Structure 1
Amino acid sequence: MADVFVYISLFLIWSMLFYHIFLMQGGYLHSVQYRKKEQEWQQRNTPFPRVSILIPAHNEDVVIGNTLEAMSNLNYPGDCLEVIVINDNSSDRTGEIAEAYARRYAFIKVIHTKPPNGGKGKSGALNNGLRESTGDIICVYDADNIPEPDAVYWLAMGLANDQQAGAIVGKFRVLNANKNILTRLINIETLTFQWLAQAGRWFWFKMATIPGTNFAIRRSILEELGGWDEKALSEDTELSFRVYNLGYYIRFFPSAITWEQEPETLKVWWKQRTRWARGNIYVIMKFFFGFHKLKNKKIGIDLFYFLFTYFLFFGGIMISHTIFILNLFLDLNLTIGVVSYLLLIIGFLLFVTEELLALSMEKNQLTMKNFFTVLFMYFSYSQMWVLLVVYASFLEMKRVLFKQEVKWYKTKRFEQTPIPKDRSA
């Protein structure tokens, strides 16, 4: 019986590894082709659409000043731009700092929300901002983001020149990547996610997931969909599926770059990622059980990817780990011991290869330090994700069974770090 479970776990793990190899090929091809779109869009001289940038901010006085300074340096006409800071029930100086920038720049304005309409989380804040906005294109940035000057230009041009795109998402880089070992691990994780999952899915399937920041979406789509789902902890993933269902695709365009702060302590990381995992599990269940009602069945590609990742792939890893530990203390009569160990070693080498390939697509990231960080990542960071998903699944099951209210966790911010001088081109 133990052999059967080993075979099942290996099948699940290797299925995901093969799919990731496929995605990484697409990600690499996209990395060498997307510059052509830059030239094509620039040659068209498309008129600038009116853009509204929404910045939800709850107790963000540590970072909001740098974010608004970056907004003031955007290469986008001021008469076609408005920046709306949603000061969402803050108890610190967020509103005061934002108002100071609003007095300096005519295109920046601040709205202040209080309960019962405010303080409900990011989705509620974005819906409040949407009602106050006037742009045909809505961009979203988190309050810790520092977009590069051309970021909004590329997001806007992407939608202005591609009517089939319902949304366009840019690339984000880790601002504090060199702070400690945790931020270095997160930096590698984010680069791999973008060049593997985002770029790869876009190249092969014309699909990408809307992130929480650095994206643009058509106002008409948001109005048709009724804005953001205020019950979703991962409002970005949930919105992605509804955009797909309208028949649009979501383009990944890495020319639009923003720099964002990542958790610097394990406690903050755990709380943030638990919220993400719970949010994604909510989305999976919402659309899995409602799949028969969806108009665009292509959503099934992404739905299966999320379902496989969170349940089957991580389930396979848990089975493998459990059998390995049990076999240390009990004789499980395994007959494929050598083969299974060989496959696990090859799987480890594939993991390392994928991570290094993703790093090679970014300037100054394929370094000896990052190489050893990747080796460490497999045995530490990746295993923490397995435990986190199990924990998040338990919390979601408890929430559903006991009909608990969803509580939003606001990620703690740290003192801002300057953008690295050796940033990507």
Structure 2
Amino acid sequence: MDKLSIIVVDIFLHRGHSYVRILWVKKGVESVDFLSGITGTQIFNVIMLPIQIIIIFLTFYYFILSMFGLYRKPEVKIHTPEKSFAIVVAAHNEEAVIGPLIENLIQLDYPKKLYDIFVVADNCTDKTSLIAKNAGAIVHRRFNTEKRGKGYALEWMFYRLFRMERQYDAIIIFDADNLVKENFLFEMNSKLCQGHKIVQCYLDSKNPFDTWVTNTFSIAFWVTNRMLQLARFNTGRLSNVLGGTGMCISTDVLKEFGWGATSLTEDLEFSMKALSYGIKTTWAHDAVVYDEKPLTFIQAWHQRKRWAQGQVDVAGRYFFPLIIKGIREKKIMYFDAAIHLFQPALVMIATFFMLTNLIDAFQPQYTHVFTLVMPWTGWQILSAFQYLYPVAALALDRLPWRAYVGLILYPIFIYSWIPIVFLGFINRKDKQWSHTKHTRSLSIEEVIVKQKKISSN
């Protein structure tokens, strides 16, 4: 009986979504012509052959895509401030963190006459409105207990913005717990002046070293930034995906096509909606937003479960239309977006494959495709490269040494996505929005000083 000799795990993430592609390969399994004749393994082959082909294809696809994240291509930047911005912050009971954000936004390195700060105090029962107003924001209070959630709050605010006397070139969306690097608006201005309509920024962490959960959660974002978002941007042919905050959307796009993104993952929904109209999202690696990560595993679990529910929901509506559009227009960006939406299904398929292999290790039931594609040694080498992805992402973006410590517990965080995705699929019709509590009240100066101290130690 052949013993299991290697597990190839390929992990990629978006907006904290950590999806695991698992390839189980047996050493010494002889190649079989699975296309000839009918064998005793026919029933299992009907199920397992397509599963293996899907996993192999997507493993190679993401491996090749990640190679584009290993470098920065030169960018031409426009430094003359031209575009005007409406900065919108959707806040629900965020009195603990809203003040530092508004103070931070007021101090951004950009002409003050070219941007205004709006806060949507959404169903707030605390002092969010008062604190935001005193800090210098224009506050709009919204009360609607039926249409709850960030997507609805943004749609309500956009409706108001478009009817104001002053009009803006673009709208930028932040979460209340964020802090923003001072060059942010200049980076967005440059992208818009180059003709881009939708821009996503680099999502960093405000509190990466508070707990092991914030550390591993931050690693997930850092890997996504480099190996998925930057990689897609570097190809020049793919569309990036919005990440929930640090999003810049041209006003004319919102006016023409509407917002309409009210799912549990409004960012992903609008990304796919815009792409279905042929509008790509681009990436701004030098525009940085510091986002607060959940302190406990339970908090992170609930937040990720909400994301999983939302992604399954969006995939159900956009997966096949994007495939069809890709076939008609012969553009890879639509197929890539569909592959991104396929991730929850891939997690479930890979998990089924893993469990089936546990049985097959003792009693062979089906034909193994992996050794037909590449020798066992090749899979071993590929596995080694895939385990180095997080290390490469941290090194290339010059993150502090403490970030590497989180890699020890990173697998726990990653594999917890498996039950979360299954729960997300089961509860995909549950659209009830849940609020993530934010408590880390830090100034942008404190965050930057902490980073410098850790890097220098």
**Equivalent position to 1:182, from 206, 213, 216:** 213
Residue matched to 1:109: 138
- Structure number with the higher helix fraction is 1
Q: Is the 8 A contact 1:60 1:413 kept in 2?
A: yes
1:72 partner letter: I
By how many angstroms is 1:179 displaced? Answer: 1.0
Residue matched to 1:373: 406
CA distance in structure 2 between the partners assigned to 1:297 and 1:337 by the alignment:
29
Distance 1:345 1:135, change over 3 A: same
Deviations 1:345-371 (A, max 9, x none): 555423321111111121234x4x544
Gaps of 5+ in 2: 1-40, 162-166
Show structure 1 runs of 4+ deviating over 6 A. Answer: 293-297, 333-344
Distance 1:112 1:280, change over 3 A: same
Pair 1:90 & 2:124 matched: yes
2:174 partner letter: Y
**Equivalent position to 2:434, from 375, 400, 409:** 409
Residue matched to 1:246: 277
Task: Name the larger-Rg structure.
Answer: 2
Residue matched to 1:208: 240
Deviations 1:317-341 (A, max 9, x none): 212331244468x645688699799
By how many angstroms is 1:8 displaced? Answer: 5.3
**Equivalent position to 2:390, from 334, 339, 355:** 355
Pair 1:124 & 2:152 matched: yes
Aligned residue pairs total 395
CA distance in structure 2 between the partners assigned to 1:375 and 1:343 by the alignment:
26
Gaps of 5+ in 1: 103-107
CA distance in structure 2 between the partners assigned to 1:7 and 1:381 by the alignment:
30
Q: Is the 8 A contact 1:166 1:243 kept in 2?
A: no
CA distance in structure 2 between the partners assigned to 1:337 and 1:244 by the alignment:
35
SS of 2:416 mapped into structure 1 = helix
TM-score by length of 2: 0.78
Residue matched to 2:289: 258
1:120 partner letter: R
CA distance in structure 2 between the partners assigned to 1:266 and 1:137 by the alignment:
36
Structure possessing the higher relative contact order (Cα contacts under 8 Å, 6 or more residues apart)? 2
By how many angstroms is 1:373 displaced? Answer: 3.5
* Correspondences of 1:25-424 after superposition (within 5 Å): 25-29=67-71, 31=72, 33-34=73-74, 36-38=75-77, 41-42=78-79, 45=80, 47-102=81-136, 108-115=137-144, 120-133=148-161, 134-159=167-192, 161-163=193-195, 165-204=196-235, 205-230=237-262, 232-291=263-322, 298=331, 300-311=334-345, 313-326=346-359, 331-332=363-364, 346=381, 348-365=383-400, 367=401, 370-371=403-404, 373-374=406-407, 376-378=409-411, 380-396=412-428, 399=429, 406-417=431-442, 418-421=446-449, 422=451
CA distance in structure 2 between the partners assigned to 1:334 and 1:206 by the alignment:
36
What value does the CA root-mean-square deviation take over the aligned residues? 2.9
Distance 1:346 1:374, change over 3 A: farther
1:352 partner letter: Y
CA distance in structure 2 between the partners assigned to 1:76 and 1:209 by the alignment:
26
TM-score by length of 1: 0.84
By how many angstroms is 1:10 displaced? Answer: 4.7
By how many angstroms is 1:119 displaced? Answer: 5.8
1:75 partner letter: D
